[in-house]
Structure 1
Amino acid sequence: MKLSAELKAFEARIGHRFKRPELLLRAVTHSSMASPTRKDNQRLEFLGDRVLGLTMAGALFAADSEATEGQLAPRFNALVRKETCADVAREVDLGAVLKLGRSEMMSGGRRKAALLGDAMEAVIAAVYLDAGFETAQAMVLKLWGNRIHTVETDSRDAKTALQEWAQARKQQPPRYTQLKREGPDHAPVFTIEVKLESGESEKATAGSKRQAEQAAAKALLARMEKDDE
């Protein structure tokens, strides 16, 4: 089979030319577009998650020979979580080539983090089946790039870290308040404020309450830790 010009351009963005192009087509096919003659990417997602996990575990193990299991585990979780996979998917514009049903397309499916993360894992599996583990591993390491070396900061849960900071100074837990909810139901945008008992606060905006809370906590924690220096 022949791939469309858009999928050929996507091959160039991820750095892999498929010998079995049907694997890539399946990897970008969401369940909303599946049919008796077109399989979706859910089985590939399952496999890709494992290929990604082994790749990241090996990379972290090699990158820091002194790290304990307790230090490696949160770094690993930060690298393989859906949000990170979705960030990588956005960088290679995976959303532009997804095959979506009409309802999923109308609800902003090309921008949904969960959908993008799943599809990224499916693409990893497709490369693995097309060319083997070493090729898939090399692609993942290339696409994840410097994240492996900067993951120490990203692996911390910002809300937990901010609460621990406040408790260490005998303050009440930070308080989170939703200030605004904008946008349509299928693509809402939340603005959240986090405030410490001592009065300091930060605001953040994101596509989910959780992401906005984490972003606000991260910003406030960074400011408070800077003031502590």
Structure 2
Amino acid sequence: MKHFDFDIYSFISMESQMSFLSQEDIQQTFKDFPCTKVISCVDYFHRKRKLGQCHVYSYPFLMKSYEYITNNFPGGYYPHVRIVYLYDEHPFEHEFFRQISLAFPLMSRLTLINDCSQNSKQTININQNFGIIRYYHLIELDIRRCRDDYTEEFLNRKTYLHNSISLHINVESFARITQNFTRNEIRINCSKVNEIFLYGENKYSIQSLQNYFPFAKID
């Protein structure tokens, strides 16, 4: 019995297409791989990118990175993946992030791009530990290119971050979710940041930022 391991991404401009392939169409092309489980994800981005993407891979997935994950993510268990990249033109809800944290238990780097507001805003009782999403191995988090909802998603008490995080963040977004540096409930996760990279127009004092990131080198 032979098993073929592969990981294939393909992209195509939607403006040049008259018809679009489905996930079932892609799966059908691998019908002659009886000894290999094949997973396919097909997404079309109509709003901004005018682009279609297809990701096809063998499972179990042995690669170190998994990119361009959308709400169409098929799930599964990916213990080899360390680098994760999330992008969609539809909102990522709180339960989606729970799915990601469970699917990639050893994820160390996470990048998120999404400018769609979440439909449901979760309020987590900090005494209900089952409601908190935990990232035990995350050491680098890039949330500079996303809606304020996601900045709050990762810095509020609904998320548990490991100590010594490197954080990439839009400073104006951070100022908004802290109500100009007056909210206290995100200080726990902020205190775990040891290096922060700021993007956008920084018209705020270093002292205001240092109050939230007391142990961080600010770049």
Give your verdict on TM over 0.5. Answer: no
Query: RCO greater where, 1 or 2, for CA within 8 Å and sep 6 or more?
Result: 1
TM-score (norm 1): 0.23
Task: Compute the TM-score of the two structures, normalised by the length of structure 2.
Answer: 0.23
Structure with bigger strand share is 2
Q: Give the structure with the higher percent helix.
A: 1
